Amino acid sequence: MTTYLESSAGVEAGGKTGLTVIFTSVFFGLSLILAPVALMIPSAATAPVLMYIGINMLGAMKNIRFDDITEAFPAFVCIAFTIFGNNIANGICAALPTYVVMKLTAGKGREIRPVMWILVAVCLLYFYSIL
């Protein structure tokens, strides 16, 4: 899940040739080698940096359409599950099915893109696998 998110972040930043995916995979491979070194750092030392990153991520909340409950509630679910599950993958995987259910119940099924159905299936499989 993290690799997918990092790859999509590269595409959002302007990478369109597929080279961003290659660089992402190479650097994730390197991170496997460096992971033992990073694990030597105590969590008390990394907590302030993670709080700073979380505060910066909250800036994206200004783009949420709070007047549309089918957009606002899945965003809330994503944030809540990320915080309480201590994992951004859990937050995203909880928000995607919520988004689809909200759109379907509001009669806005045409707004759901076909790739969303695939992502929801993957998210449901993810939650099934951790049960």
Could you give the CA distance from residue 116 to residue 93 in angstroms, rounded to a whole number? 11
pLDDT of residue 3: 52
Question: Tokens in use for 108?
Answer: 């806005």
Q: What is the structure's pLDDT at 98?
A: 96
Top-confidence residue, 10 or 106: 106
pLDDT of 52: 86
CA atoms within 13 A on the CB side of 76: 9
pTM (predicted TM-score): 0.65
> Using CB atoms within 10 A of its CB, is residue 46 exposed (0-12), middle (13-18) or buried (19+)?
exposed
Q: Give dist(CA 96, CA 102) in Å, integer.
A: 10
4-8, 19-23, 37-41, 94-98: which is most confident: 94-98
What is the average pLDDT across 80-97? 88
Query: Taken in order 64, 127, 39, 5, is the CA torsion positive or negative?
Result: negative
pLDDT tens per residue, range 31-83: 888 888 888 888 788 788 878 887 887 888 888 989 999 999 999 999 899 88
Nearest to 123 by CA among 105, 100, 102: 100
